[in-house]
Amino acid sequence: MSDAVISDTGESQQPVAVVTGANSGIGRATAIHLASTGSRVFGTVRSVGKADKLRAMAADAGVEVELVELDVADDVSVADGFAQILETAGRVDHLVNNAGVGGNAVAEECPTSLYLDVMNVNLCGAVRCLQAVLPQMRERRSGAIVNITSVTGRIAALAQSPYVTSKWAFEGLSEGLAQELAPFGIRVAIIEPGVTKSAIFAKNIDTPNSTGAYDAHYRRMFQFYAAGMANSTDPFEVARVIHEAITTDTPRLRYPVSWCGPEMAALHDRIADDDWVGLGAIDDDDEYYRRFAEIFDVDIAPA
């Protein structure tokens, strides 16, 4: 499948792509990369006034990303933003649901309000956006929905209960969506990044630690990300995978990518439950890191 889309009259048209959360990391890289491959790209951001780096990077790449102010957590904002896009471009061919937030906590210490806040962005935000574009995709019987989940959508990463829960839910929604949309010729792709260079990690440093009983859990979670950031993948690598997922003639449902993504996603279904639970029962950090590497073939021990 090429980047071009075919109109009702049989003419080739420039594809129209929407990338949510386009102001940083994977979203910014994807918006720029899709524009460089010939798409007309609308990048959604919560504040156009804070999108200077996106504008500068797009200019350096010699492409244009059209900015739309939109908050995926808000029904009215999403409706207004997509109404603006559809009025301007007439259609959306490809939607990349990238906007998301982190969330650190073990279940005992996580207020339900945090679960709801994270789910509202990471799951419901994507639902709002896909509901805005699917009617016209169904009518044309073509299009692609690309959902950026995470390797934590396959592996219950330690001490990130609200984030993991939202990504597992997003995986389930995406898997069901693929069957729902298959009769209409609409492609669904799930992108499962591991650790990618992104500002989200610098922002995601809070933990409740209200009981003091889970010090080791939070310490090991942060060590995982410290190891990941030392080996993190350029977000443009993920952008290229997204472009491939949209355009390939041999599509598949899931695309693990980035540091630790393919390794951990592939191994998840082969880990015995006893091994998984036993990993959490290890008291000594060094032994935990050794066993983690043994199970996942990923080294997260301090350098």
Known catalytic residues are 163
pLDDT value of position 266 = 82
Question: pLDDT value at position 159?
Answer: 97
Q: What's the Cα-to-Cα distance from 196 to each of 10, 39, 62, 158, 291, rounded to whole Å?
A: 39, 24, 24, 18, 24
pTM: 0.94
Residue-range domain boundaries for the chain: 5-296
What's the pLDDT at 303? 87
Question: How far is residue 113's CA from residue 120's CA, in Å, rounded to a whole number?
Answer: 10
Q: What is the length of the chain?
A: 303
pLDDT for res 209: 87
Q: 183 CB contacts (<8 Å, ≥6 apart)?
A: none
- Nearest partner of 261 among 214, 228, 292, 217, judged by Cα: 228
Q: CA geometry: angle at 161 spanning 102 and 165, to 5°?
A: 80
Report how far apart, in Å, the C-alpha atoms of 78 and of each of 30, 68, 72, 130, 224 are. 20, 10, 6, 10, 34
Contact between 160 and 221 (Cβ < 8 Å): yes
Strands 40-45, 16-19: parallel, antiparallel or unpaired by DSSP? Answer: parallel
3-state SS, residue 43: strand
Alpha helices (H) in the chain, listed in sequence order: 25-36, 52-60, 75-89, 112-119, 125-140, 161-181, 200-203, 215-230, 235-247, 261-268, 273-280, 285-296
Which among 235, 231, 224 is positioned nearest to 296, based on CA atoms?
224
- As given in the structure block, the two tokens for residue 267 are 């191994």
d(CA 153, CA 19): 20
Q: How far is CA 52 from the centre of its chain?
A: 22
| pLDDT string in tens for the chain (303-residue length) | 557 665 555 556 899 999 999 999 999 999 999 999 999 999 999 999 999 999 999 999 999 999 999 999 999 999 999 999 999 999 999 999 999 999 999 999 999 999 999 999 999 999 999 999 999 999 999 999 999 999 999 999 999 999 999 999 999 999 999 999 999 999 999 999 999 987 665 565 678 888 999 999 999 999 999 999 999 999 999 999 999 999 999 999 999 999 889 888 888 778 899 999 999 999 999 999 999 999 998 999 998
Mean of per-residue pLDDT scores for the chain? 94
CATH of domain 5-296: 3.40.50.720
Give the model confidence (pLDDT) of 84-99 as tens digits: 999 999 999 999 999 9
